Structure 1
Amino acid sequence: MLLLTKNRVFVLWWLILCSGLAQAQETNNGKWIWYPGDFAIWLHTQTSGLRQERGQPYPPFWRVDAPYGLVRFQKVYDIKSPTAIKVFAEGNFQIRVDQQIISDFDPMNIRLPAGKHQLRILVENHGALPALLVRGDRVFTDETWQVTNQNQRFEKAEAGQFADPESPPSHFSLHYTPMDYRVLEQDDRRLLLDFEKETYGKVILERLQGRGNLHVYYGETKQEALAEKLAETYDRVAVREGAPQTDTLAARAFRYVYIVADRDVPLPSVKALYEFLPVENRGGFSCSDTLLNRIYDVSLYTLHLNTRAFLIDGIKRDHWIWSGDAYQSYLMNFYTFFDEAVNKRTIYALRGHDPVETHINTILDYSFYWLIGIYDHYLYTGDTSFVKQVYPRMKTLLQFCLERRNTEGFVEGLRGDWVFIDWAEMDKKGAISFEQLLLAKSLEATAYCAGLAGDEEAAAAYRETAVSLKKKIEAVFWDERKHAFVHTRENGRLSTDVTRYANLFAVLFDYVSPEKKQQIKEHVILNDSVQAITTPYMKFYELAALCEIGEKAAAVNYVRDYWGGMLEAGATTFWETFDPNEQGKERYAMYGRPFGKSLCHAWGANPVYLFGKYLLGVRPLSPGYKTYEITPSLGGLDWIDGKVPTPSGSIGVFMDRQNVRVNPGTGRGTLKLQSRKMPKVDTGNAVVKSLGNNWYAIQLEPSVAEYTVRYWSNEK
């Protein structure tokens, strides 16, 4: 065995087999592989501690796993003639062919013998990520290799975009580009910079000299930066006598940067670099309302800032992956960037390794969002391989949840659990109807994935449990007098309180009859006497439910008022919470701190999802958009125009009060329209089918570049 070490990232090469030397054939085949999920888990160890609170580190309060340090990769190959390979690895390693250890080799010049043989490479790396790259003409690393963490259970290896020997997975990095700013205030010791909108990046201090300290305060608002040590984040730079130096500070969130120098430290020259994940916006939306267009653009920018190595909650304060926040970001991603890799990294990082000892993020509902999110990822992408890889972790998490049910079969928050739901004041004791609905949906999601993974016995058991649970939820929590689900049941006693949460999700999950949906619409969703939802987090679901019950114009009006209110208050990105009644300093306070509120929060980007799914009306009906539906709606607007990304391209939609134009995707689509009389299609031999109640369906063929449909609008 050959051992080579360089810092904590090891780049090692191996192997010769068979007698005689041969020059290895140059080839670009092969990509870096690793234990499934461990690249994301390793990357999470590098980013989970980025949170800083007033000069001090603030690590997560849940378990952060590390990648397995000892991993065995293996492949059975069968070739008719000898072949040449090159091998690269991150870590110490051992090579075996057919159980024989290879002890003398040239890693750049390896010949494998003809025939059927098993190639094993054991990689050990406790400082980073054990990873392997084999390049060759006929034998090379890809997802068909098997991998084990030495527990004798084998899985298919995971791979990503890494294929360069000089850029292994541990070299993953975000991208940078220079940023401009305006100088707002300056004297001999103070400098206030305005970057003109919320951003994230690194401040670079050049020509540092003198002796003393330089204090750098970051603010999402001018008030926060000028508050100095009351700001959520700041840095202190020690300057020592000698030749002028340059210091690149850690990446921070800010709009304003306030630099204060000690008496003997001249102000430096300042530059800044924007830090970002290079994702392409493949979606788009515009309409007849310029305010909504601005809301869409700011929402997209908010989402982009929080789409980093992972889908994080906010760039200033936490910088953590929260499962509830991430679930919404998965869906927003599918209507904008359609970056599958960042979704998968986030899913793996949240889950970590077995055993399951607490809920994800310690939050009861967040375990359920994690399970449901995997099904949604499959629906949009059709990525069966990912589901099969992650399914064993779904199974153990769901089993953990099921073991914590009470005697009635309902989940409750137990000791150590955080029952979140939303920030609003509410009773969170006992069995909450909202949590039971999430459990039922989690059972259905896991059952579907179990079927894809070939675990039919578990799939059947989960489906049966879901059916039983849904019946019990309706029997126990539905109140005929209130025409709604009541909130909670504790010690066998049912509350009389009605909240929006369970009722919204019953509509979104399609768990109730049309008659009960109508009752929920009248007595809960459109009932102002029921406690209002005020956070963008739960507004994500309330606005979706409004659209599902035919109230798209009401949803659009709310976006115009609520998100428009943030813009009127000076927002350049959308906030964690917003109360139009708050003024001045109280707008920025949260968690008992004057600037604790995040003014760039992922769940604030909700409109990019709402406009794509419910105005452009595009949604997959089967995995990977093999079949899909387009049900566009003006929502009270004069026209809408945009596109929605899919795994194989984008679907374009335009609608005004007379015409609809569609650029279909590669799957089989159905355009659904409401029209006072039968629509007319000017393309090909498209068939228009009546669905009743003035609804019509038009089948879309991928071979047609564009459909134009004349219809007669019902909207005023």
Structure 2
Amino acid sequence: MKQIFLLCCLCFLAGTALAQATWIWYPGDYEIWLSNRMQNRRTDRGSFFPIFWKMDSHYPLMDFHKDVVLSQAEEVHIYAEGTYNVKLDGQPFEGTPAVITVPAGRHRINVKVFSQGTVPAIYVKGATIVSDSSWLSTYEDKEWIDETGKTSDITATKWLHAGCWNFNDPAILPSAFTLPTQVMAAVKNENGLVDFGKETFGYIHLKGIKGKGKITLYYGESKEEAMSDKGAVNVDWLSFEKDVNQDSTLPASKAFRYVRMVTSPGIQVDDVSMLYEYANVNEPGSFKCSDDEINRIYEVAKYTFHLNTREFFIDGIKRDRWVWSGDAYQSYLMNYYLFFDKGTVLRTMYALRGKDPVTSHINTIMDYTFYWFLGVYDYYMYTGDRSFIKEIYSRMQPLMDYCLSRRNKDGLMEGQVGDWVFIDWADGLSKKGPLSFEQLLFCRSLETMSLCADIAGNQQDAEKYKLLAAAIKEQLFRIYWNEQKQALVHSTINDHVTRYANMFAIFFDYFNAAQKETVRHSVLLNDSIQHITTPYMRFYELEALCALHEQSYVLKEMKNYWGGMLQLGATTFWEEFDPHKSGAAHYAMYGREFGKSLCHAWGASPIYLLGKYYLGVKPTAPGYATYAVEPALGGLQWMEGTVPTPDGNISVHIGQKEMKISTAGGKGTLRFSSSIKPVCKTANIQQTKDKWYEMTMEPNTTYVINYQSVK
């Protein structure tokens, strides 16, 4: 079944009925159920390959209710996924009614649904009564009946506004959802090796299967992988015991560029094509510049990100196809500069958080738990969605309580039994003891908790987490800052310096101006410090350099690193890239000849870097109520692009002598450098320091500024 993959509508404002009825469920339950179904589709050489961490499930029994006031009687249609009953003002209807009549006046409608295999969900449609996110839901009905038959009050029950998506047709069940597909032909088929021209994802379709025998399909992101009988990660087998004359579409989607088909004697296939599977997300963000290689890098990054945007943000399309918090966190940031798709962010965050009780870190990785908190913070900054923060806060508290319980005797985060301390794939990187990098992420997570507690109206928690964050930050600098090395050292065990904590402290703005300047040279531009070879951490390394106004340097690094992959024929960006390797050695990882993912979400970071640090657009208040535009050409002759916001797109075009900015809603501040006094006929420009200027921009206005780019 094909469906249009649209934005998730997890809105939580009560009393605002949607004109369109939609399927509703307990918030987060459908997301958990869908992620379980998606992540457990992974296979390796045809064998089921389950996820590594605890799986949660949906609540099987759900109670939904809505209070209504009607001026006249109304006929209401009810649909449900599961077995259900209906009450009006506490009185049950007989049987399982598909249609009820609600009289004029004030009433409460209750629908209780049981479903073990799928998520309990309802669709209610009347003239004015429709199921939407204003309905309340609970899994913990504290109702009982005493010996007289009197029903207890249920004031202790916790009700949350229902979750929903765009399932707006009662005949299209949420449990039947699949991503849309389209037919794509191969570009070449030589001696059974089928080439689709670039990395892709979907279902192989075999046309004109004739005869009897076996067909084996070896999938490869590279030609070498497809040609390897034993090394190909993904393999499919078909067997026909009797003569056939038919077409066949393989039941499981796979990642590949090449597919090698091997047939036994007596069977033949006329043609091989595919059903390309994709998420139908919008793309309001854009970037284009004077450098053709950067343009190519941006386009390949976009395609890489599209492929890894599915029901959720996943890590890579070939091997894992799982929802990893560290990968997802970077995807959120890229998303804000390309899709601005709130729904995929929320689905991913719900799926990662799972249910209580918390018994391990997210994905079992300490740093990935902290990235989850950081994702909540960034979501609020980019969208301004206070309703989500109020709802999710109750799920943040138990997760943070778990983190606080895992501290060592000094109050620092340290890997305990069962914890995976990841940081990065790097040879010889120590993961033992309390690491500066983990304390830094922990501190930021506590700051996020304080912010969210304040929004949720819990001032006591807000103050508690604020004090805890301040204490961790004090320890971070007292224990790990080394004056001699002019950097944060990696651990308490030795005074070894790595890039990780130092680069995060820059864009978290934890360093003072002097420390930023010393770390620029002592760490980030110091070749004696171990280099980073994963796009995962290059993302943050280059962000830190951009935050230090090193855009010219970063542009060269992007061309060398991502351009290096393109020179090797990459059509998507990889999980890891070491330019010193050669040939098929580029494809090896995890002790496997073709273990590396050649289409990995964290490889698409140029989308974020070019949007935030070259076009220079970022929110300075939640939801872009205020924002900054600080464009930096970084050696380019010109650039242009759009950055999506909740209230329209911000458009930037900048050359050597002229800038043109079209604003969205909210109030913007333009900051830029110029070697001459700049002029704008429709706004006042103020000089802030030598060759630096600032200008206030009103909503939904276009400004043209004449200036001279500083060399």
Report the TM range for the smaller structure's normalisation: over 0.9
Instruction: Tell me which amino acid in the other structure corresponds to 1:558.
Output: E
1:450 aligns with 2:441: no
**Whole-Å Cα distance in 1 between the matches of residues 588 and 382 of structure 2?**
38
Structure 1 residues 516-567: Cα deviation after superposition (integer angstroms, max 9, x where no partner): 1111112111111111111100000000000111111111110001111100
**Whole-Å Cα distance in 2 between the matches of residues 512 and 269 of structure 1?**
60
Instruction: Tell me which amino acid in the other structure corresponds to 1:692.
Output: K
1:163 aligns with 2:168: yes
Which consecutive unaligned segments of at least 5 residues does structure 1 have? 1-26
Match of 2:84 in 1: 93
Say whether the 8 Å CA contact 1:209–1:240 is kept in structure 2: no
Match of 1:272 in 2: 274
1:115 aligns with 2:99: no
How many pairs were matched up? Answer: 677
Say whether the 8 Å CA contact 1:203–1:272 is kept in structure 2: yes
TM-score between the two structures when normalised by the length of structure 2: 0.93
Partner of 2:687: helix, strand, or coil? strand
Structure 1 residues 5-24: Cα deviation after superposition (integer angstroms, max 9, x where no partner): xxxxxxxxxxxxxxxxxxxx
Say whether the 8 Å CA contact 1:69–1:130 is kept in structure 2: yes
Match of 1:700 in 2: 697
Q: Which has the higher contact order (CA 8 A, sep 6+)?
A: 2
Match of 2:41 in 1: 50
1:349 aligns with 2:345: no
Cα drift, residue 571 of structure 1:
0.3
Q: After the TM superposition, which segments of 4 or more aligned residues of structure 1 sit over 4 Å from their partners?
A: none
Cα drift, residue 139 of structure 1:
2.2
Partner of 1:545: helix, strand, or coil? helix
Identity of aligned residues (%): 46
Say whether the 8 Å CA contact 2:298–2:606 is kept in structure 1: yes
Which consecutive unaligned segments of at least 5 residues does structure 2 have? 1-17, 142-156
Partner of 1:94: helix, strand, or coil? strand
Cα drift, residue 662 of structure 1:
0.6
Partner of 2:84: helix, strand, or coil? strand
- 1:204-603 correspondence runs (5 A): 204-249=205-250, 250-424=252-426, 425-490=428-493, 495-603=494-602
Cα drift, residue 270 of structure 1:
2.1
Instruction: Decide which of 676, 689, 707 is 1:711's aligned counterpart.
Output: 707
1:607 aligns with 2:603: no
**Whole-Å Cα distance in 2 between the matches of residues 193 and 535 of structure 1?**
30
Match of 1:21 in 2: none
Moved more, 292-301 or 270-279: 270-279
Structure 1 residues 297-319: Cα deviation after superposition (integer angstroms, max 9, x where no partner): 00000000000011000000100
Cα drift, residue 229 of structure 1:
3.0
Say whether the 8 Å CA contact 2:255–2:317 is kept in structure 1: yes
Moved more, 603-612 or 223-232: 223-232
Partner of 2:268: helix, strand, or coil? coil
Say whether the 8 Å CA contact 1:182–1:194 is kept in structure 2: yes
Instruction: Decide which of 127, 130, 143 is 1:137's aligned counterpart.
Output: 127
**Whole-Å Cα distance in 1 between the matches of residues 19 and 435 of structure 2?**
55
Partner of 2:269: helix, strand, or coil? coil
Structure 1 residues 244-273: Cα deviation after superposition (integer angstroms, max 9, x where no partner): 232211111000011000112223432211
Cα drift, residue 364 of structure 1:
0.4
Q: 1:473 to 1:126 in 2, by over 3 A?
A: same
Say whether the 8 Å CA contact 1:575–1:600 is kept in structure 2: yes
Cα drift, residue 243 of structure 1:
4.0
TM-score between the two structures when normalised by the length of structure 1: 0.93
Cα drift, residue 413 of structure 1:
0.6
Cα drift, residue 113 of structure 1:
2.1
Instruction: Tell me which amino acid in the other structure corresponds to 1:366.
Output: Y
Match of 1:17 in 2: none
**Whole-Å Cα distance in 1 between the matches of residues 673 and 90 of structure 2?**
68
Match of 1:6 in 2: none
Partner of 1:244: helix, strand, or coil? strand
Cα drift, residue 28 of structure 1:
5.9
Structure 1 residues 556-591: Cα deviation after superposition (integer angstroms, max 9, x where no partner): 110001111100011000000111111112111111
Say whether the 8 Å CA contact 1:209–1:239 is kept in structure 2: no
Cα drift, residue 51 of structure 1:
1.7
Instruction: Tell me which amino acid in the other structure corresponds to 1:232.
Output: V
Say whether the 8 Å CA contact 2:32–2:350 is kept in structure 1: yes
Match of 2:193 in 1: 192
Cα drift, residue 241 of structure 1:
1.2
**Whole-Å Cα distance in 2 between the matches of residues 469 and 587 of structure 1?**
40
Partner of 1:431: helix, strand, or coil? coil
Partner of 1:542: helix, strand, or coil? helix
Instruction: Tell me which amino acid in the other structure corresponds to 1:592.
Output: G
Instruction: Tell me which amino acid in the other structure corresponds to 1:167.
Output: I
Instruction: Tell me which amino acid in the other structure corresponds to 1:438.
Output: L
Partner of 1:230: helix, strand, or coil? coil
1:637 aligns with 2:639: no
**Whole-Å Cα distance in 1 between the matches of residues 555 and 162 of structure 2?**
45
Say whether the 8 Å CA contact 1:208–1:239 is kept in structure 2: no
Instruction: Decide which of 66, 75, 78 is 2:66's aligned counterpart.
Output: 75
Structure 1 residues 649-692: Cα deviation after superposition (integer angstroms, max 9, x where no partner): 2111011111111111111111111123331013x2x1212222
Cα drift, residue 106 of structure 1:
4.5
Match of 2:23 in 1: 32
Say whether the 8 Å CA contact 1:217–1:229 is kept in structure 2: no
- 1:176-191 correspondence runs (5 A): 176-186=181-191, 191=192
Structure 1 residues 209-255: Cα deviation after superposition (integer angstroms, max 9, x where no partner): 32221001111111111112310101001113144232211111000
Cα drift, residue 61 of structure 1:
0.8
**Whole-Å Cα distance in 1 between the matches of residues 176 and 168 of structure 2?**
12
Match of 1:10 in 2: none
Structure 1 residues 362-416: Cα deviation after superposition (integer angstroms, max 9, x where no partner): 0000000001101101111112222222221111111100111111110001001
Cα drift, residue 69 of structure 1:
1.0
Match of 1:153 in 2: 158
Say whether the 8 Å CA contact 1:391–1:453 is kept in structure 2: yes
**Whole-Å Cα distance in 2 between the matches of residues 519 and 125 of structure 1?**
60
Partner of 1:173: helix, strand, or coil? coil
Structure 1 residues 675-710: Cα deviation after superposition (integer angstroms, max 9, x where no partner): 23331013x2x1212222322111111242x21101
Indicate the RMSD between aligned Cα atoms, in angstroms. 1.4
Structure 1 residues 498-521: Cα deviation after superposition (integer angstroms, max 9, x where no partner): 111111111111112111111111
